[in-house]
Chains A and B, each alone.
Chain A
Amino acid sequence: AQTVTQSQPEMSVQEAETVTLSCTYDTSESDYYLFWYKQPPSRQMILVIRQEAYKQQNATENRFSVNFQKAAKSFSLKISDSQLGDAAMYFCAMGYSGGGADGLTFGKGTHLIIQP
């Protein structure tokens, strides 16, 4: 069974600063994918960033980047130059190749607060 753990129920950061959200996972699969999803108050689930486990290079999308440590089974999200619009719930999720029909396994989420 796969598990995803987000140990920070809530994080707070000043606008324009950098914040890192933590995620650890456990799986016996060798080929898997990791995701960060954002859920603002509108409740829409928005894909922020994706990382393929077979890639050593950390994924980056504009102000969002990940620190993927495969051996440690860690997948943290760094948000640079935080903006008020970044305030949301952030979910770490995992899926595995060949198991795409099994859906994603989600962590419990981190509520990110942006202080103006």
Chain B
Amino acid sequence: DTAVSQTPKYLVTQMGNDKSIKCEQNLGHDTMYWYKQDSKKFLKIMFSYNNKELIINETVPNRFSPKSPDKAHLNLHINSLELGDSAVYFCASSPYPDSTYEQYFGPGTRLTVT
């Protein structure tokens, strides 16, 4: 069974479009995250959700919005896509506030904006 899954794995779209990336975890974790990995492989936190409540929101454009329909899902919506949004986006989950806070990552979604 896949612990953290993301769909799609690849997404190619044009500037100005709106797109969504879905994430699901079957680990029973309370906290989920979205990270962005840029072209230089640098990983940076974008959002986290704990029990459907947004905990942090790093300095990301408000074109990005996380949506959590339930504890097992955290989807990422992106409006008015720009060239600079091209990156790999990772969903992750964590047993926080329990346990030792390691994060379990999904396979990533490579977004290419043309």
Q: Of the candidates A42, A52, A95, A106, which one forms a contact with B43 in the assembled complex, judged by CB atoms under 8 Å apart?
A: A106
CA distance A112 to B26 in the complex (A): 32
A89 nearest CB neighbor, chain B only: B41
State whether B100 touches A101 (Cβ < 8 A). no
Q: Of the candidates B43, B92, B94, which one forms a contact with A91 in the assembled complex, judged by CB atoms under 8 Å apart?
A: B43
Q: Scan B41-56; emit 1 where CB is below 8 A from any A CB, else 0.
A: 1111100101000011
Known: A50-B102, A97-B101, A102-B48. A109 touches B56 (CB 8 A): no
State whether A43 touches B108 (Cβ < 8 A). yes
CA distance A102 to B96 in the complex (A): 10
Range of interface residues on chain B?
20 to 34
State whether B56 touches A35 (Cβ < 8 A). no
State whether A95 touches B101 (Cβ < 8 A). yes
A109 nearest CB neighbor, chain B only: B41
Task: Please name 16 pairs of A and B residues whose Cβ atoms are closer than 8 Å in the assembled complex, sorted by A.
Answer: A35-B102, A43-B88, A43-B107, A47-B103, A47-B104, A50-B100, A89-B41, A95-B101, A100-B31, A101-B48, A101-B50, A101-B56, A103-B35, A103-B56, A103-B92, A108-B42
Which of B's residues lie within 8 Å of A, judged by CB? 31, 33, 35, 40-45, 48, 50, 55-56, 88, 90, 92, 94, 96-97, 100-105, 107-108, 110
Which of A's residues lie within 8 Å of B, judged by CB? 33, 35, 37, 39, 42-45, 47, 50, 52, 89, 91, 95, 97, 100-106, 108-109
